[in-house]
């Protein structure tokens, strides 16, 4: 359809229908209405789209379609804030912050460090009153993120309504905790996460649990033992920071060696449990060309949901997106599907 022709015809129609008032001929109103209709037509034809579901396993696809239908429904991003950079920048300021009462726990690591865990026990759960078998969701905030991030609070709120328990894995040295060893976040190292998973499982061996990570899932006297802090502070890009800090701290010869080792292209091949990944193709940090679509197709345990809009963990929707986002709805439906129907993923 030619939207320009539609807009012109609509404008002429409105101009002929609007009565001449005291302040003018009504042409201005007809133009405003015409522009509004044209914008709505553009939004519905080019912005609001169904996400692309990428999965090599037909049974996994059918499982998602039946128990997580949100991944097959049209995503309607906020009509005045659908562009990726706007979604990324405005989300922290627009979305609400549900109140969550945490119980903090510090666990020791093999190298002498410590990890801060924030628990939401949900002891008032009506669906799972027995704490020993209450499903547990392990949440991984983004780089430098903590349990206080709005997206984490919303994920906990969604879990609370389903009766689940949550525990937030705060990376070392953040969330107000002292850094006891010269070691922080590294995208290619999962030792701390493994320690947290084993710890949670040891506390509740009868409780099923899943993990949900957002973005990259991540004090001075200690850091000076392994790197030049003054040089690190002069970094003006993520690559410069990783070159002077992360790659040095974890023993990589170059920053390219670190990026190669941390690339999801290599990690996806070894995924052994069902994983659902949500990514917007207009993500400013993880754009479409960086999404390992072909690699994901080679593993029956991996499914990708790619939306046309959403930015970096934005996924705002609704006229005034204060509460639930599209990401929250995907999280809620998938987690519930895994806990309640997980045995059907590869038996359909």
CB neighbour list of residue 345: distance below 8 Å, 6 or more residues apart: 59, 60, 63, 274, 338
Radius of gyration over alpha carbons of the chain, in Å?
24
The enclosing H or E element of 333 equals: helix 326-341
Question: Beta strands of 203-266 (E only): which ranges?
Answer: 209-213
Annotated catalytic, 215?
A: yes
123: phi then psi, degrees, rounded to nearest 5? -65, -15
**DSSP letter at 69?**
G
**DSSP letter at 105?**
E
Annotated catalytic, 192?
A: no
Annotated catalytic, 341?
A: no
Give me the catalytic one of 30, 215, 280, 308: 215
Are 111 and 104 in contact, with CB atoms under 8 Å apart?
Answer: no
Give me the catalytic one of 118, 242, 282, 283: 283
CB neighbour list of residue 23: distance below 8 Å, 6 or more residues apart: none
Give me the catalytic one of 154, 159, 280, 312: 312
Characterize the bridge pairing of strands 165-170 and 114-120: antiparallel
Q: Is 324 helix (H, G, I), strand (E, B) or coil?
A: coil
Q: Which residues are identified as catalytic?
A: 215, 283, 312
């Amino acid at each position: 359809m030619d939207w320009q022709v539609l807009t012109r015809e609509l404008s002429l129609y409105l101009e002929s229908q609007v009565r001449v008032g005291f302040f003018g001929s009504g042409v201005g109103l007809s133009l405003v209405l015409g522009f509004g209709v044209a914008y709505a037509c553009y939004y519905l034809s080019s912005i609001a789209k169904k996400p692309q579901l990428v999965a090599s396993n037909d049974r996994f696809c059918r499982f998602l379609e039946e128990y997580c239908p949100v991944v097959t429904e049209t995503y309607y991003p906020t009509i005045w804030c659908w562009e990726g950079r706007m979604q990324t920048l405005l989300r922290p300021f627009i979305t609400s912050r549900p109140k969550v009462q945490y119980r903090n726990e510090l666990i020791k690591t093999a190298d002498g460090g410590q990890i801060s865990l924030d628990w939401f026990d949900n002891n008032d759960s009506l669906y799972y009153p027995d704490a020993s078998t209450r499903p547990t969701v392990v949440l991984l905030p983004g780089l430098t993120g903590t349990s206080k991030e709005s997206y984490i609070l919303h994920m906990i709120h969604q879990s609370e309504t389903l009766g689940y328990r949550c525990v937030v894995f705060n990376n070392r040295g953040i969330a107000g905790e002292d850094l006891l060893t010269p070691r922080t976040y590294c995208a290619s190292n999962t030792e701390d996460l493994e320690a947290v998973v084993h710890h949670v499982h040891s506390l509740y061996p009868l409780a099923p649990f899943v993990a949900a990570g957002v973005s990259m899932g991540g004090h001075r006297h200690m850091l000076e033992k392994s790197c030049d802090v003054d040089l690190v502070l002069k970094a003006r890009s993520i690559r410069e920071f990783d070159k002077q800090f992360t790659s040095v701290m974890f023993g990589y010869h170059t920053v390219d060696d670190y990026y190669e080792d941390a690339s999801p292209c290599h990690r996806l091949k070894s995924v052994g449990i069902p994983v659902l990944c949500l990514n917007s193709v207009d993500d400013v940090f993880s754009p479409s060309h960086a999404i390992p679509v072909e690699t994901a197709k080679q593993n029956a345990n991996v499914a990708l949901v790619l939306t046309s809009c959403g930015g970096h963990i934005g996924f705002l929707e609704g006229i005034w997106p204060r509460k639930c986002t599209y990401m929250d709805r995907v999280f809620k439906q998938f987690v519930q599907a895994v806990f309640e129907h997980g045995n059907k993923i590869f038996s359909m």
